[in-house]
Chains A and B, each alone.
Chain A
Amino acid sequence: MAIARFENIAINNVVNTIDSLGQTTTALTLWFNTRAKVMDVRDAMQNAKDDRVYIRNVKFVLNYTPNTKTISDNQFGYAINWRNSDWRISDVMESNDRMNVTLTCYRNDPVTSL
């Protein structure tokens, strides 16, 4: 029998600030901790001529709540910490019955910071 895979995640606010030299800095501050159904973990590498492209995707299924609706409305403003990595949201899908929200997330380290 299959067991639903619920795992701890942390929802962080993404705050962009500017340092004294005009450089954009990104800071993550914890908004709340929760548990999500983790699905479709994908970690792949593609060789495109001279470049290696790392593709890391995961889906988090959360209940439809005021907080997840806020995330759905402003997906660029939030990052999710899971397995000690920070994931940004690329897609938000609200289920038609408004029971849950599916967040498709990516990370593009090790080279580029979030």
Chain B
Amino acid sequence: MTTQQSIVTYGKAIQAQLASVVNPVPVYANFNRNFASQPKFVTWQLRNVHQPVYTGPTQSNKGIDTPTFQASVFAQDMNDAFGIEDTIVQALHGYTGQFGGSSGIFVAKIDVSMLYNTYDDQVKLHQIILDCRMTIPC
């Protein structure tokens, strides 16, 4: 039985963890205006924050939260994009423990799924999309 954790906490933990994994590559929430001057960077977006709700008189009677953050790797060079993707997968796939530093959250596991790679000729950047599903027994 627990209460829903704040997405502010999730967001800060994702930002901190991704930034430490791919350091010194910059990490942003959502796309940013620096693509013209930065040859590689990572963005993320959070979705599907949801704990199953059990019946009963107590509102805090909920299950395990399974939010997903979608990380996008951007790079001018395809080798860089694939390299950063591999760094994230090696570090986070199956990860258990404190996520996002001491002020972050505890995750039981993370499932990383590489969805696809693509090339955006508008911004001249290779892109790799990763789905990272967190299991948070809060």
Contacts and interface: CB of A to CB of B under 8 A. Distances in A.
B28 A22 contact: yes
Interface residues of B, number: 19
B10 to A, nearest CB: 10
Contact of A21 (B12, B34, B37): B12
Given A18-B26, A76-B37, A24 B32 contact: yes
Contact of A22 (B11, B33, B34, B36): B11
B84 interface: no
Contact of A18 (B8, B14, B27, B36): B27
A22 B37 contact: no
Interface in A9-27: 16, 18, 20-24
Interface residues of A, number: 8
B74 interface: no
Contacts of B15: 18, 20-22
B99 interface: no
A88 B113 CA distance: 40
A86 B74 CA distance: 30
Contact of A76 (B11, B14, B27, B36): B36
A24 B32 CA distance: 7
Contacts of A23: 28-29
Contacts of B19: 18
Interface string B26-69: 11111011101100000110000000000000000000000000
Given A16-B34, A18-B28, A22-B43, 17 more contacts: A16-B32, A18-B19, A18-B27, A20-B15, A21-B8, A21-B11, A21-B12, A21-B15, A21-B29, A22-B28, A22-B29, A22-B30, A23-B28, A24-B28, A24-B32, A24-B33, A24-B34
Interface of B: 8, 11-12, 14-16, 19, 26-30, 32-34, 36-37, 43-44
28 contacts: A16-B32, A16-B34, A18-B15, A18-B19, A18-B26, A18-B27, A18-B28, A20-B12, A20-B15, A20-B16, A21-B11, A21-B12, A21-B15, A22-B14, A22-B15, A22-B27, A22-B28, A22-B29, A22-B30, A22-B43, A22-B44, A23-B29, A24-B28, A24-B32, A24-B33, A24-B34, A76-B36, A76-B37
